[in-house]
Amino acid sequence: MATIHPKLSDELSQTVVSSTKSVKIKIKRSNPNVNSEQKFDEFVVPIEKWTTVLDVLLDVKSHLDHSVGVRYSCRQASCGSCGMKINGKPGLACFTKISELDSDTVTVEPMDNYPVVRDLAVNMDRMINNHKKVMPYVIREDSEIDAESGIREFLQSPENVDKYIQFSSCIKCGLCNSACPTMAMDKTFVGPQALAQAYRYIADDRDKGKNKRLKVIDESHGIWRCHFAGSCSQVCPKGVDPAMGIQLLRGYLLGIRD
Amino acid sequence: MMVLRESIIMKIHYGTALGALFLTVIHIMMRLTQDFHESLEYENVIANYESVGYAILLELLLILISVHGFNGLRVILLEMNQGPTYEKLVTIGCLAGMAALIGYGSRTIIMTNMGML
């Protein structure tokens, strides 16, 4: 049941704006540490055509309700902190303009498939742990720092870089895991984020840890539980295609890729 | 208990699907040699089981579909719930179901060929 703060929502934001447009934002509020209550609070905030969902949330925090829990940092889709469900679809609040949503009401909720810390902030431990499990770094015995010759480079051809470069754009925002239907069902599924990162390093010709990583993902709640719904690729704000990475990884496991 | 890697199990899963599809096509083509109602007549069904080639085809089809189907069921059940005991029970249950189905189907073919039906 939605609740409205009449006094707060009547009070317009103090931000100096030239626009006469406004948007109603519905924010899902909850604090599992206190009780299991969940509700939507509504606020009316003035907007410009460039206003993002994060701008609106920060406006609410600054002028209408300081207690709204939201995680953010860079405000330019680089840090991956402000992932949330915006009008039912996972997205970055800083990368979603209100004008693009084509709606007078914007509903924001915490991402699915993560435990809520408070309001829009979620606990991302599961994603980070799975990310660590696939060893997201170049594995090899020698080093770029050589005792005799100093620092050297592991050179790559542009063709080899092309094999993985899109997957290195991942900012660990967790939107792919939030959109994944298998993540919702299977609490131990490794998830599209970790699988895409496994592919990123396996496809890197400087890396020698292919077999170690394939062993990690080739288990009963690993890569084979992906249903190829493709929603992970749909919601990625950085253009990474985890669904394709997963299919390419399966090629290694089925022996049709080297 | 010997545990197969998931990639080996999935290779078997895909292989049995392709094999079952191929044999089902042959099976349907064989059925097209007579009218549908004739195909289901008791004598014709028994005759199919008594033909060695056709009995082998049916036995293979039974094995492929049982392996594929019960592994599919295992995958669905593993997704619905997790935990070491549950997963072990699901795996053992599916293997037992698979063996029981293959055993029951094979029994029909063997009994027919031994003149017991």
Percent of chain A at pLDDT > 90 equals 84
Asked whether residue B2 carries a pLDDT value surpassing 90, the answer given is no
pLDDT digits over B55-99, tens only?
A: 999 999 999 999 999 999 999 999 999 999 999 999 999 999 999
Same domain, A137 and A117: no
Q: What is the pLDDT of residues A63-85, one digit of tens each?
A: 999 999 999 999 999 999 999 99
For the ranges A24-33, A131-140, A242-251, B36-45, the lowest mean pLDDT is seen at: B36-45
Residue-wise pLDDT for A162-206, tens only, equals: 999 999 999 999 999 999 999 999 999 999 999 999 999 999 999
- For B87, the closest chain A residue by CA position comes to A220
Mean pLDDT of chain B: 93
Total count of domains within chain B: 1
Which two structure tokens, joined as six digits, stand for A38? Answer: 């969940």
The whole-number pLDDT of residue B36 equals 84
Tell me what pLDDT residue A143 has.
84
Which residue in this structure is represented by tokens 């008791």? B42
Rounded to the nearest angstrom, the minimum Cα separation between A185 and chain B is 6
The verdict on ipTM greater than 0.85 is: no
Query: What's the average model confidence in pLDDT over B31-57?
Result: 90
Residue range B15-33: average pLDDT? 95
- Looking up residue A160, the CATH number of its domain turns out to be 1.10.1060.10
Find the CATH number of the domain harbouring A42.
3.10.20.30
Whether the CB of A182 is below 8 Å from some CB of chain B: the reply is: yes
Q: Judge residue B59's burial from the number of C-beta atoms within 10 Å of its C-beta, 0-12 exposed, 13-18 middle, 19 or more buried.
A: middle
Question: Residue A43's closest CA among A1, A106, A121, A102?
Answer: A106
Contact indicator for B26, B57 with CB cutoff of 8 Å: yes
Quote the mean pLDDT of chain A.
92
CA–CA distance, A101 with A95 (Å, rounded to integer):
12
Distance CA A93, CA A85 (A): 9
Average confidence (pLDDT) over A150-168: 93
Which residues of A are less than 8 Å from B86 in CB distance? none
Task: Locate B37 and state its tokens.
Answer: 């109602």
Question: Nearest 10 degrees: CA dihedral of A165, A171, A174, A180?
Answer: -20
Q: Give yes or no for B75 touching A (CB within 8 A).
A: yes
Structure confidence at residue A15 (pLDDT): 54
* Domain, as residue range, for B31: 6-113
- Which two structure tokens, joined as six digits, stand for A239? 């253009």
Same domain, A109 and A197: no
Q: Do B78 and A182 touch (CB under 8 A)?
A: no
CATH of the domain at B96: 1.20.1300
What average pLDDT score do residues B44-61 get? 93
CB A197 within 8 A of CB A167: yes
Identify the domain containing residue A115 by its residue range: 2-122
Q: How many residues does chain B have?
A: 117
Instruction: Give dist(CA A88, CA A96) in Å, integer.
Output: 13
Q: Does B43 touch chain A (CB under 8 A)?
A: no
Cβ contact A164:A200 at 8 Å = yes
Q: Average pLDDT in the A100-127 region? A: 96
The beta-carbon neighbor of B79 closest among A219, A223, A225 is A225
What tens digit of pLDDT does each residue of A205-229 get?
Answer: 999 999 999 999 999 999 999 999 9
Residues A235 and A134 in one domain: yes
Nearest by CB to residue B82, choosing from A188, A218, A219, is: A188
- The shortest CB-CB distance from B82 to any of A186, A223, A253 is to A186
Q: Decide if A235 contacts A179 (C-beta within 8 A).
A: yes
**Chain-chain contact of A186 with B78 (C-beta, under 8 angstroms):** yes
Domain total of chain A? 2
CB B79 within 8 A of CB A185: yes
Q: Cα–Cα distance between A83 and A237 in angstroms, integer?
A: 10
Chain A hits for B82, CB-CB cut-off 8 Å, are 186-188, 221
pLDDT-derived band at A241 (thresholds 50, 70, 90) equals very high
* Whether pLDDT at A106 is above 60: yes
Say what the pLDDT of residue A2 is: 47
B11 touching chain A per CB within 8 A: yes
Cβ contact (<8 Å) for B6 and A187? Answer: no
> Which distant-in-sequence residues (6+ apart) come within 8 Å of B67 by Cβ?
B12, B13, B16, B98
Q: What phi and psi values does residue A236 have, to the nearest 5 degrees?
A: -65, 125
Phi/psi at A160 (nearest 5 deg)? -70, -35
Would you say A221 and B83 are in contact if contact means Cβ atoms under 8 Å apart?
no
Give Rg (Cα) of chain B: 17
Residues A64 and A53 in one domain: yes
For residues A19 and A76, state if they share a domain. yes
Instruction: Single out the residue of A195, A210, A81 nearest to residue A133, CA to CA.
Output: A195
pTM for the model stands at 0.87
Domain contains B1: no
Counting every residue written for chain A, the total comes to 258
Angle subtended at Cα A19 by Cα A14 and Cα A21, rounded to the nearest 5 degrees: 95
What confidence tier does A9 reach under pLDDT thresholds 50, 70, 90? Answer: very low
Shared domain for A100 and A142, answered yes or no, is no
Listed residues A77, A99, A122: the one ending a domain: A122
Nearest alpha carbon to residue A201 among A218, A213, A189, A216: A213
B75/A186 Cβ within 8 A:
no
| pLDDT band, residue A13 (cuts 50/70/90) | low
Return the minimum-mean-pLDDT range out of A86-90, A208-212, B13-17, B32-36: B32-36
DSSP string of chain B?
Answer: -----HHHHHHHHHHHHHHHHHHHHHHHHHHTTS-HHHHTSHHHHHHHHHSHHHHHHHHHHHHHHHHHHHHHHHHHHHHH---HHHHHHHHHHHHHHHHHHHHHHHHHHHHHHTT--
CA closest to B6 among chain A residues: A219
Nearest to A222 by CA among A198, A255, A251: A198
Asked if pLDDT for residue A19 goes beyond 70, the answer is no
In a domain, B18, yes or no: yes
